[in-house]
Structure 1
């Protein structure tokens, strides 16, 4: 969100009745100041192309797969089910 804390867009979405779910604070996802989670997620493929890049992480905290921003969340279903079957 271009706004410093995103409050302006959140207020707008709520006013319009959007179901926005949980929203977390804005964090850095690139560079030296990136959040440790994103540093770990991008070890193998550092560049995050765009919003909505998705990462699937296994039970041991390892990145299982990375999905592009244009892939719908439903594209992860088979991989999620596969990981859920593993011990």
Structure 2
């Protein structure tokens, strides 16, 4: 299994435990439902934020940008044998 799949699985399990298991371990009290809802929403948002951030790094929409002046300077500095 490649690193990409392993990291997706690990973080999905981590946030799944926080949002799916931890809310049921909250002791009874007047604000139990509020705390459960907060845990579920927080874990869903954090997982989604992490997933978007990770996927953006894995497959960027565009690569590094360089203008023609900088390219000429690099060609002179490094030579033509690139």
**Is the pair's TM-score, using the shorter chain for normalization, greater than 0.5?**
no
Higher RCO (Cα < 8 Å, 6 or more apart): 2
* Normalised TM-score (structure 2): 0.26
- Whose helix fraction is larger, Structure 1's or Structure 2's? 2
Larger Rg: 2
- Whose strand fraction is larger, Structure 1's or Structure 2's? 1
